Chains A and B, each alone.
Chain A
């Protein structure tokens, strides 16, 4: 069997103020798989994501990316393998131009010259934003900034793409474009979202986190149709939304 893209083994974590944010979390994501991470506000989703590239370190347990354990020695290589897209694109885009922002990651990992140029073009192309290369990030629309933020991590050619609430604040058309972009990308994806129809459309599998515990893991349709589970963990579908109908269409 091939190495899983992401392996989280018995991970626990508490913030310095004593708040236990993660408890004994286990999660496996296979190569090329797209998994949705669901859960109410404060469940610990963002906290979990920050462990994936070593910004936070587990109190106990282990995180492996393509077989490599997150540790002080491996952290730079881990950051190359894990492309983390933050919730607010304004936190992610900090260079004066889009092109430079996309180049920031690969340049840190030692690319330069024509290779770097090509990498930037490839990443912007993947999110259909090639035309914005010389523009200033703060002049782009919110949806465009979101896509550029994704390009900034794609440029590093990560093993796994990790997105924190990628559809928040997007209008329906930008949301649709984002879904198309993400579905086209042939890499492993872990997506935190409150947008359940989005999760259903993008991710065949879903995991539910609540109060730092993994409380369910199944196909996304199964989870969204389990009314008891949904109620217990404050998950709600849009009015009259039928996951089965949606999934079969």
Chain B
């Protein structure tokens, strides 16, 4: 899973603070002008600082950054296909516009993802859901997200048992186009999940559920915690403002 147990100050911040901080940070990164290399560098340093504070090992973060690979490949193709002005690099003709595009996509995706990794690695799912609840994300959405997390393991487990049962009877999908039977069985998996949904609903009704999920007493974040949590994204906002005014 994404979460990494710990007791650092970053872990202890209330989830809603971290979620808001993440949003603000990402927004600040999004508005950074492409030419402000120093601002990207400083924002990156901020993130590394928080990672160290949260005691997240570099390898752990690097592995999670791998989900970015498809985006990076896409970004790296831009200089070859971009139009307009071109430039020569090591004998290759590259589009200037495409180069800038590749750079900003890479830098912004990495910073945004890095920040998300920090938040998800230091916040448990229940806390995250409670945090979202606190900042008024509609109850229906947090409830659905909660159910998804709760039953993902079970559905995934059922799926792998299904696959195993097929393999045990001689089915060996090597290639994508051989996955037909497995895909068909996904249909019955859906029915099974649906029936489970009905039984879960019965269990909820049996315990007095009448359409509204109860909220459980959790404490609000203190002003101090808001300041601590928002310190990093506010610096990023400052960087963004500075770079926009300096360059603009």
Contact = CB atoms under 8 A, between A and B. Distances in A.
B207 A94 contact: no
A136 B196 contact: no
Interface in B45-102: none
Nearest to A84: B206
A219 interface: no
Given A79-B208, A96-B149, A136-B126, A91 B214 contact: no
Nearest to B213: A104
A90 B154 contact: yes
Contacts of A53: 206
Interface string A80-110: 1010101010111111110010011101110
Contacts of B200: 91-92, 94
Interface residues of B, number: 25
A100 B153 CA distance: 19
Contacts of B209: 104, 108
Interface in A18-57: 50, 53, 55
Contact of B206 (A55, A90, A116, A117): A55
B150 A153 contact: no
Contact of A105 (B147, B202, B208): B208
A86 B153 CA distance: 20
Interface in B183-214: 196, 199-200, 202-210, 214
Contact of B207 (A50, A97, A100, A153): A153
Contacts of A100: 126, 216
Contacts of B203: 84, 86, 91-92, 94
A117 B200 CA distance: 24
A156 interface: yes
Interface string A136-177: 111000000000000011001000000000000000000000
Contacts of A105: 207-208
B208 A108 contact: yes
Given A94-B204, A103-B216, A108 B210 contact: yes
A112 interface: yes
Interface string B140-169: 000000110111011000000000000000
A96 B125 contact: yes
A23 to B, nearest CB: 23
B129 interface: yes
Contacts of A112: 217
B208 A116 contact: no
A218 B206 CA distance: 29
A136 B129 CA distance: 13
12 contacts: A50-B202, A84-B206, A94-B150, A94-B204, A103-B214, A103-B216, A105-B207, A107-B214, A108-B207, A117-B217, A136-B126, A138-B154
Interface of A: 50, 53, 55, 76, 79-80, 82, 84, 86, 88, 90-97, 100, 103-105, 107-109, 112-113, 116-117, 136-138, 152-153, 156
Interface of B: 125-126, 129, 146-147, 149-151, 153-154, 196, 199-200, 202-210, 214, 216-217
Given A88-B199, A104-B204, A156-B207, 6 more contacts: A94-B200, A100-B216, A105-B208, A113-B217, A116-B217, A156-B208
